[in-house]
Amino acid sequence: MTATEIQIDGQTFPAQDGEYVLDVARRNGIFIPALCAHPLLKPYGACRLCLVEIQQGKRRRMVASCAYPVQAGLVVRTATDKISELRRGIVELLLARCPDSPPVRELARRLGVSESRFPTLYRAGEKCILCGLCVRVCHELVGAAAISFVSRGKERRVDSPFALGSEDCLGCCACVAVCPADAIAVRSDADTLNLMPFNNSVKMERCAKCGKPIAPLPLLALIRSRLSLQEPDRDGFHSDPDLIKEDGDAVERVPAGVAGAIHNQKIAASSFFLAKNLCADCRLERSAQALAAVAAQQRRAS
């Protein structure tokens, strides 16, 4: 990457080609509010809170800093009177949509907005700020496209197709992880994980030993497919091709975490399993048992 320099609020900072103005500002501790920007996702510019004034030569204009690439000689102003006025107006609109949203309330406090001049548009308790992070992570990173924006105007929202729940949802909860407004709730029982308000429900795989739910079945199926793992056998265990050894008629099935400890030594086949669908407690217990068996075998051999 080629290094360059840009000026932000009178200070000069190094930057790399391919970076955006918001990246450079954040790296150097300069406050620019943004609700729809995430380092793992492509620039989107939905919230418009990150507006800044840029100058190139004699020309000045306002741009979304999260989507504007750095250029040599670029001059950026982040807190002019006009920019501050626009940001306060955007926050007032957000307050009208979701007055109880914690990040919106915090931004309002920081920008000096005590209340919105606009009438409240949504039901009490609305938290979604329409930043689009959940939709984009589902499309761009997960590749499931289980949710999307629907409707227009004041009825715009994020939902599953026809509000019926999506069969493409993996239950990965990436949407929950990136949501800045805590607007997506996870509810689960012994067999199902539910993502609200999308009504997306996925079945859970249960621990082969104790029966506790481990992870969503669609997500585990995708992981097994990408890692070329076999489906579990009727006992609930997987055979790892890299750890299987033939010893006459016996096949060794070595537990994960034990392979490194035994340094590829020959082990009796009867007691060792690679269990990829055990809960954390059962996995730990099985690994401890396997390590104890390895140590006992080594003592007998010495």
The CATH number of the domain holding residue 66 is 3.10.20.740
- Please give the residue range of the domain that contains residue 252: 229-301
User: What is the C-alpha separation between 195 and 202, in angstroms, rounded?
Assistant: 9
> Domain boundary at 33, 63, 79, which?
79
- Both 9 and 44 in one domain: the answer is yes
- Both 258 and 289 in one domain: the answer is yes
- Both 198 and 233 in one domain: the answer is no
Residue 100 located in a structural domain: no
pLDDT at 248: 37
Instruction: Dump pLDDT digits (tens) for 183-192.
Output: 999 988 778 9
Beta-strand relationship, 3-8 and 75-77? parallel
User: What is the C-alpha separation between 216 and 194, in angstroms, rounded?
Assistant: 10
The number of beta carbons lying within 10 Å of the beta carbon of residue 214 is 19
**C-alpha angle 109-115-117 in degrees, rounded to nearest 5:** 140
Nearest CA to 32 among 90, 99, 74? 90
- Both 197 and 255 in one domain: the answer is no
Residue 142 located in a structural domain: yes
User: What is the C-alpha separation between 193 and 220, in angstroms, rounded?
Assistant: 14
- Overall domain count for the chain: 3
Q: Is the dihedral of CA 214, 215, 216, 219 positive or negative?
A: negative
> Domain boundary at 172, 206, 240, which?
206
The number of beta carbons lying within 10 Å of the beta carbon of residue 105 is 16
| Residues near 208 by beta carbon (within 8 Å), at least 6 away in sequence | 232, 235, 236, 237, 275, 277, 278, 282
pLDDT at 293: 78
pLDDT at 230: 57
- Both 190 and 251 in one domain: the answer is no
Residue 61 located in a structural domain: yes
Residue 35 located in a structural domain: yes
Nearest CA to 182 among 257, 239, 125, 121? 125
> Domain boundary at 79, 103, 122, which?
79
Instruction: Dump pLDDT digits (tens) for 254-288.
Output: 444 444 443 344 333 333 334 457 777 877 787 77
- Both 172 and 237 in one domain: the answer is no
Upstream peptide bond of 218 is cis (omega within 30 degrees of 0)? no
Residue 111 located in a structural domain: no
Residue 234 located in a structural domain: yes
Residue 98 located in a structural domain: no
Residue 294 located in a structural domain: yes
pLDDT at 52: 96
Which residues, in sequence order, are bridge partners of residue 11? 8
| Residue numbers in the chain where pLDDT is lower than 70 | 1-2, 122-123, 227-276
Model pTM score: 0.75
Supply the angle between the helices 81-97 and 102-111 in degrees, to the nearest 10: 150
